[in-house]
């Protein structure tokens, strides 16, 4: 059980929840704040003053006053009408993360949700009642309304779960009862950035893993083409000072240490300088790591934020704009840039290895019988296609906006679109790196009897458990998928002796 402390949740803990499927609940210290804000909303609902979302309509209908006896119907109708998402469903792990982020937001005691409603959300996580949430339908302001409405629909016994059950049936089987929404509760549950933030966080964590994997595949490629390790010298990167660059150079030095391939031509190497895709690996991948770190800091703040509206403050219930997901949109765009550039330079290393004019005597397309066999010719084309697709997907989403809700919501963030597209980019990048690993392992095989470093030999051995060397031509699509899977699950990182933080184990 992961105990969430509102305002203090750390990304490593949330990543564990996402990867391991941990149940989660709020720290008991949050209970008094939750109860106090709920009382204030109940008092407002009984009062004479109009309070947005409590006894009024929503959005452009905020001027319509709702009678006290209709407040429950108001909240229920809000959820039903906002279940307008379309497209493929969000994956189970990221829905669970979204639910945990909603708990963190409600736990700050500024949303007016009753303790029993919070307890139901906790119980759904613990008993694996996971709503089916379509990926399309949010513009990232006023919050992720449609996706969060699909989550909330299950809480009231409507909607559908990922297991294909109705909300009512799923709750019944789990020994739970639907909640009858009190004043403002429906609005608090659907008004927020938790969908966009969860999708962006999932891509961030995958991106960090892929960045480390790219250092491993890059080290393999460097040895495959008998490249120089001189550009990775510590002093070069210290003189510039960027932390990501320094970190990647250190990883490359560690992975290549003891390589007989490199030692065999350290003296008298006829090449003065390698192409940029070899020589500038620390500068490019390191810059991407720094971008990911910056995005992570933004998303950690957002994960702990209260982003619904209106907010229950000491001075009253006040309308604001915390639901606007511009910070998440910017973070998603940064992640997209990092993913695209990691893939772009990796693709150039693949192209380098299959080109006999540049690969330092490797056979054309890395096949032992070029001409009769095409080897990795079209696998390289696949990486070019995926690299190009990621470049297009990296176009910023945060600069787009379109007015919605009769111009009441006249500037939106597009954070949901920006965060959802990252999943496709992660998938594309994992295949590019998988192809690079296969090409580099094949190239290192051609250097026998010279051997690469012990760490990189371990990586090749792990890869060969899943994919044999390429001899005569065969369908390579299964090989590409198998290698990409090893990239995504961290197998090659672990084989290289790297920890999850990228330090040498």
- Indicate which residues carry an active-site annotation: 52
- Alpha-carbon dihedral of residues 379, 380, 381, 382, nearest 10 degrees? 50
Instruction: Tell me how many helices (H) and strands (E) the chain has.
Output: 20, 6
Coil, helix or strand at residue 437: helix
CA 50 – CA 67 distance, rounded (Å): 11
Query: Residue 306 is encoded by which pair of tokens?
Result: 């209260």
Q: What is the DSSP annotation of 109-144?
A: S-S---HHHHHHHHHHHHTT--B--EEE---SSS-S
> Over the range 410-445, which residues count as b (16 or more CB within 10 Å of their CB) and which as e?
eebbbbbbbbbbbbebbebbbbbbbbbbbbbbbbbb
- Using an 8 Å Cβ cutoff, are 409 and 59 in contact? yes
The number of beta carbons lying within 10 Å of the beta carbon of residue 120 is: 20
Residue 140: φ, ψ to 5°:
80, 20
Helix/strand/coil percent split, the chain, to 5:
60, 5, 35
66-72 contact pairs (CB < 8 A, 24+):
71/45, 71/182, 71/183, 72/180, 72/181, 72/182
Q: Is 349 exposed, middle or buried (0-12, 13-18, 19+ CB in 10 A)?
A: buried
User: Which helix (H) or strand (E) covers residue 278, if one does?
Assistant: helix 276-279
d(CA 404, CA 83): 16
CA distance 56 to 58: 7
Q: Is 505 helix (H, G, I), strand (E, B) or coil?
A: coil
Burial class (CB in 10 A: 0-12, 13-18, 19+), 465: exposed
Instruction: Give the position of tokens 């790591």.
Output: 289
Tell me which residue of 490, 207, 502, 153 sits closest to 343, measured CA to CA. Answer: 207
Residue 28 burial class via C-beta count within 10 angstroms: exposed 0-12, middle 13-18, buried 19 and up: exposed
CB-CB contact of 351 with 307 (8 Å): no
């Amino acid at each position: 059980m992961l105990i969430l402390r509102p305002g203090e949740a750390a990304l490593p803990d949330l990543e564990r929840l996402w990867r391991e499927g941990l149940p989660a609940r709020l720290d008991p210290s949050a209970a008094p704040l939750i109860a106090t804000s709920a009382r204030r909303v109940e008092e407002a609902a009984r009062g004479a003053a109009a309070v947005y979302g409590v006894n009024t309509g929503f959005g452009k209908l905020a001027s319509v006053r709702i009678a006290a006896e209709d407040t429950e119907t108001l909240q229920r109708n809000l959820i039903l009408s906002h279940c307008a998402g379309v497209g493929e469903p969000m994956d189970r792990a990221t829905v669970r993360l979204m639910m945990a982020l909603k708990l963190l937001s409600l736990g700050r005691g500024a949303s007016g949700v009753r303790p029993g409603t919070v307890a139901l959300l906790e119980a759904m996580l613990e008993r694996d009642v996971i709503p089916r949430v379509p990926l399309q339908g949010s513009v990232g302001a006023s919050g992720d309304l449609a996706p969060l409405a699909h989550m909330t629909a299950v809480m009231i016994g409507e909607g559908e779960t990922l297991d294909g059950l109705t909300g009512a049936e799923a709750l019944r089987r789990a020994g739970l009862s639907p909640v009858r929404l009190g004043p403002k509760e429906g609005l608090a549950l659907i008004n927020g950035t938790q969908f966009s933030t969860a999708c962006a966080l999932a891509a961030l964590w995958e991106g960090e893993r892929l960045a480390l994997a790219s250092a491993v595949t890059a080290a393999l490629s460097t040895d495959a083409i008998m490249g120089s390790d001189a550009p990775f010298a510590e002093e070069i990167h210290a003189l510039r000072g960027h932390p990501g660059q320094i970190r990647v150079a250190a990883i490359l030095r560690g992975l290549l240490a003891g390589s007989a391939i490199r030692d065999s031509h350290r003296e008298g190497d006829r090449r003065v300088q390698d192409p940029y895709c070899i020589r500038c690996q620390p500068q490019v991948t390191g810059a991407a790591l720094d971008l990911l770190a910056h995005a992570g800091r933004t998303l950690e703040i957002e994960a702990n934020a209260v982003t619904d509206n209106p907010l229950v403050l000491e001075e009253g219930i006040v309308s604001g704009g915390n639901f606007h997901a511009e910070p998440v949109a910017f973070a998603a765009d940064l992640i997209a840039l990092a993913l695209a550039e990691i893939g772009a330079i990796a693709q150039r290393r693949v192209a380098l290895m299959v080109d006999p004019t540049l690969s330092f005597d490797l056979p054309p397309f890395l096949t032992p019988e070029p001409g009769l066999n095409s080897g990795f010719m079209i696998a390289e084309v696949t990486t070019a296609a995926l690299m190009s697709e990621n470049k297009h997907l990296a176009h910023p989403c945060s600069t787009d906006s379109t007015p919605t809700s009769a111009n009441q919501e006249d500037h939106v963030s597009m954070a949901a679109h920006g965060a959802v597209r990252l999943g496709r980019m992660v998938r594309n990048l994992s295949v590019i790196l998988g192809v690079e690993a296969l090409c580099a392992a094949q190239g290192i095989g051609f250097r026998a009897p010279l051997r690469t470093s012990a760490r990189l030999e371990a990586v090749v051995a792990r890869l060969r458990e899943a994919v044999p060397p390429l001899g005569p031509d065969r369908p390579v699509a299964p090989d590409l998928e198998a290698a990409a899977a090893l990239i995504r699950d961290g197998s090659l990182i672990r084989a290289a002796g790297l920890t999850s933080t990228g330090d040498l184990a």
